[in-house]
A and B are shown apart, each in its own frame.
Chain A
Amino acid sequence: QVQLQESGPGLVKPSQTLSLTCTVSGGSINSGAYYWSWIRQHPGKGLEWIGYIYYSGTTYYNPSLKSRLTISLDTSKNQFSLKLSSVTAADTAVYYCAQSNRGLRDAFDIWGQGTMVTVSS
């Protein structure tokens, strides 16, 4: 049973870089069957796709965040990470990591529990 768990600071200062890590257990991140994804949800709002990375290192980013965004893999630790630079209060949200399953037409079939990140001085 694959499980995902987000980790990282819950508070980030404006203009700094938000960094989160997702640890994958029960499965290998080095699989061509999945994309490894980040999705966020602003308080009381809908979901927003941030981007994802394939095991080869190929990345796909939300165009609205692309200039500030880096998603990377650490296959030795079975983890993938998110870095979002120059954050503002508008980046305050619950951040989820998720597995996008190519066998289900890339549906996000497994999610982490989510981690709340607040941008504030």
Chain B
Amino acid sequence: QSVLTQPPSASGTPGQRVTISCSGGSSNIGINTVKWYQQLSGTAPKLLIHNTDQRPSGVPGRFSGSKSGTSASLAISGLQSEDEADYHCAAWDDSLNGWVFGGGTKVTVL
């Protein structure tokens, strides 16, 4: 059971906007920044979003992150076939004194 809660799956057709939620609590998302990682099949995760809404260089602008209260979201605008992957959210938890992750959301491009 992951500390952060994500839906197990999401899907969309090419060009659509897909949003993935990540629900946490007052000791993690509520007071700390959120990170998002993309994991293509059979590969290591890759940093997609840091500091809740910041993209590292090289990450396409169609990926965006946001937060409200104890929940965060990742949006993919203009979904592309290469976006088919697992997406994981993460945040530091001040109560557990450690990093916590969501269970991951598998995005399928229909």
Q: Please pick, from A46, A48, A60, A96, the residue contacting B97 in the complex, using a CB distance under 8 A.
A: A60
Interface 9-mer from B12-20, B23-31, B39-47, B74-82? B39-47
User: Judging by beta carbons under 8 Å apart, are A111 and B46 in contact?
Assistant: yes
User: In the complex, how many angstroms separate the beta carbon of B9 from the nearest chain A beta carbon?
Assistant: 13
| Interface size range of chain A in the complex | 20 to 34
User: Judging by beta carbons under 8 Å apart, are A109 and B90 in contact?
Assistant: no
A46 to B101 Cα, complex, angstroms: 7
Closest B residue to A96 using CB positions: B44
- A108-B103 in contact given A46-B2, A47-B45, A114-B44 (Cβ < 8 Å): no
Q: Does A89 reach chain B (CB closer than 8 Å)?
A: no
Q: Does A26 reach chain B (CB closer than 8 Å)?
A: no
A45 to B2 Cα, complex, angstroms: 10
Q: Which of A35-74 contact B (CB under 8 A)?
A: 45-49, 51, 60-63
Interface 9-mer from A16-24, A79-87, A99-107? A99-107
User: Judging by beta carbons under 8 Å apart, are B92 and A106 in contact?
Assistant: yes
User: Judging by beta carbons under 8 Å apart, are B92 and A47 in contact?
Assistant: no
User: In the complex, how many angstroms separate the beta carbon of B108 from the nearest chain A beta carbon?
Assistant: 16
Closest A residue to B101 using CB positions: A47
Q: Does A113 reach chain B (CB closer than 8 Å)?
A: yes
Q: Does A14 reach chain B (CB closer than 8 Å)?
A: no
Closest A residue to B54 using CB positions: A104
Residue-wise, chain B 50-68 has the 8 Å CB interface mask toward A (1 for contact) of 1100101000000000000
- A104-B56 in contact given A111-B45, A113-B44 (Cβ < 8 Å): yes
Chain B residue numbers with a CB within 8 Å of A109 are 47, 50, 56
Chain A residue numbers with a CB within 8 Å of B50 are 104-105, 107, 109
User: Judging by beta carbons under 8 Å apart, are B98 and A60 in contact?
Assistant: yes
User: Judging by beta carbons under 8 Å apart, are B44 and A49 in contact?
Assistant: no
